Structure 1
Amino acid sequence: MKIAVFRPDDERLENAVELLELLDVDPVPDPMLAVQPTGKKPRRADFVVLTSKTGVELAHEAGWNPGEATVCAIGEGTAATLRKYGYEVDIVPEKFSSRGLVAVLADRVDGQRVEVARSDHGSDVLTDGLADAGAAVHETVLYELVCPKGSGESAELAAKGELDGVLFTSSLTVEHFLKAAKERGVREETMTNLDDMTVGAIGGPTHDTARNHGIRVDVVPQTASFDRLAREAVEHLGDKAEV
């Protein structure tokens, strides 16, 4: 079984490939995201929100000091990276999503300054939700996410019917995958064959993006982690093979 994975070309992709191999799957690594740092760091505020491991690493490299701020991480991966660099983590929502964090902070941020430090493609759900709760929200773009040159091997494999599954790990991976298919002249064939494949999305926003582009999603893990996404997608593939 061949499953395409679209993580950035760093240890995240290496770990994803290793996990899929352990699950007896033939991984097709096809990075759909590349990170371009802006050199900025989070501003001082009453609450500071970090949404990714990459954001934490770049904030640390820029010399970020949270001071007395309440530090919030949108998921355990982000929280673990914060702790790795010596930052204290005050809040991690049980539901690892923008909506989950807004729900936790809604009754705490009225009249408070909230700094959201993330990529240039962050969801408005977080910033709008905090603003609606009465916070003075500022967003700092720590890095931009672009589509790497040469990506799209997985789209060609999908178009030929030589791929069994795809694992979308953000809304941008969906959009860049379809962009690569279009640029290679195989979008129609790719979309048709996706109906016969196992399609996984790491969380609700990614699922919604795929659905809005006409892609049926089979697997959305309750916990938004690549480990759960991969394991549930492989299980789904196994169940299909037994039918």
Structure 2
Amino acid sequence: MTREVRVAVFRPDDERLAQAVELLDSLGATPVPDPMLAVEPTGNVPEDAPYVVLTSKTGAELLAEAGWLPGEATLVCIGPTTAAAARAAGWTVDAMPEEYSSVGLVERLRGDVAGERVAVARSDHGSDVLLDGLREAGATVEETVLYRLTRPEGAGQSTVMAAGGELEGVCFTSSLTVENFLDAAAERGVRDEAVAGLNDAVVGAIGDPTRETAAANGIDVDVVPDHAEFEELACRVVEAAAPSYHE
């Protein structure tokens, strides 16, 4: 007999969460949606620069809504999801790294940006790896915060489930989702129990920075996908969790 495989997801409460729930359901898992991020737009747009770097689908969509145009800039997107949003806005995507991460972006641009201005448009929780790496490559970096990421009021029911051993898997999609999960658990007085519950489950992290944040907080990460894409993360978490639950 196959037991239930309950997998918590922490994406913002918009189409991303809906798609995550649909995907997990299609994989035969029971989704546990618990949004740990809310998007608060700043209204800012990047100034003209020879290179513009977008690090999220949300950022591309906010710029499109604001009527921003890349003009003559070389438009660089962190991965396929961001690139698809940029193309949907009618923009040409000129470059994308092989590795969909801040490290990948630096590697992709390292030989091109010496002496150039690079506008990085992203959230208020972006990694310093990207800015520092581009500066080390000789670029003048101008960061524009397009939106702030906050923890929604009431988030954290999944922390209680984790503490009670009621989760078989979780999908962390950023360092901030890890931090907000732990903060929500602490508010409920179950931080240590929730961490212990996660360590009895299959923990997925979308990339190495997220894995490192989890590990620094005592969470053992079982799955890091080859590409920083949610679909691959979810598939691997469910695949790792499901075989353990057959009687």
TM-score, structure 2 normalization:
0.97
Q: 1:179 offset after TM fit, Å? A: 0.3
SS of alignment partner, residue 65 of structure 1: coil
Q: 1:161 offset after TM fit, Å? A: 1.1
> Matches of 1:156 and 1:238 in 2, distance apart?
22
Match of 1:137 among 136, 141, 144: 141
Provide the residue aligned with 1:40 in structure 2: 44
Provide the residue aligned with 2:163 in structure 1: 159
After superposition, the CA RMSD in angstroms is: 1.0
> Matches of 1:115 and 1:209 in 2, distance apart?
27
Provide the residue aligned with 2:28 in structure 1: 24
Q: Where does 1:54-73 land on structure 2 (aligned, <5 Å)? A: 54-73=58-77
Task: Describe the superposition over 1:192-236 as per-residue Cα deviations: whole angstroms up to 9, x where unpaired.
Answer: 111110000011111111111110000000011110001001110
> Matches of 1:8 and 1:161 in 2, distance apart?
24
Q: Given that residues 41 and 63 in structure 1 are in contact (C-alpha distance below 8 angstroms), is that contact kept between their aligned partners in structure 2? A: no
1:21 maps to a residue whose letter is D
Provide the residue aligned with 2:10 in structure 1: 6
Gaps of 5+ in 2: none
Provide the residue aligned with 2:96 in structure 1: 92
> Matches of 1:205 and 1:193 in 2, distance apart?
22
Q: 1:5 offset after TM fit, Å? A: 0.3
> Matches of 1:160 and 1:234 in 2, distance apart?
20
More deviation, 115-124/62-71: 62-71
2:89 maps to a residue whose letter is Y
Provide the residue aligned with 1:53 in structure 2: 57
SS of alignment partner, residue 166 of structure 1: strand
> Matches of 2:62 and 2:199 in 1, distance apart?
38
Q: Given that residues 99 and 125 in structure 1 are in contact (C-alpha distance below 8 angstroms), is that contact kept between their aligned partners in structure 2? A: yes
> Matches of 1:195 and 1:71 in 2, distance apart?
40
> Matches of 1:69 and 1:192 in 2, distance apart?
48
Q: Where does 1:66-81 land on structure 2 (aligned, <5 Å)? A: 66-81=70-85
> Matches of 2:13 and 2:245 in 1, distance apart?
31
Provide the residue aligned with 1:233 in structure 2: 237
> Matches of 2:75 and 2:205 in 1, distance apart?
27
> Matches of 1:106 and 1:63 in 2, distance apart?
29
> Matches of 1:242 and 1:49 in 2, distance apart?
46
Provide the residue aligned with 2:216 in structure 1: 212
Q: Where does 1:173-188 land on structure 2 (aligned, <5 Å)? A: 173-188=177-192
> Matches of 1:24 and 1:239 in 2, distance apart?
12
Q: 1:242 offset after TM fit, Å? A: 5.5
> Matches of 1:163 and 1:211 in 2, distance apart?
19
Q: 1:164 offset after TM fit, Å? A: 1.0
Task: Describe the superposition over 1:65-96 as per-residue Cα deviations: whole angstroms up to 9, x where unpaired.
Answer: 21111000001100000000100000011110
SS of alignment partner, residue 237 of structure 1: helix
Aligned identity (percent) is 60
Provide the residue aligned with 2:119 in structure 1: 115
> Matches of 2:150 and 2:212 in 1, distance apart?
20
Task: Describe the superposition over 1:14-38 as per-residue Cα deviations: whole angstroms up to 9, x where unpaired.
Answer: 0000000001111000000000000
TM-score, structure 1 normalization:
0.98
> Matches of 2:52 and 2:80 in 1, distance apart?
16
Gaps of 5+ in 1: none
> Matches of 1:138 and 1:77 in 2, distance apart?
23
SS of alignment partner, residue 245 of structure 2: helix
Number of aligned residue pairs = 243
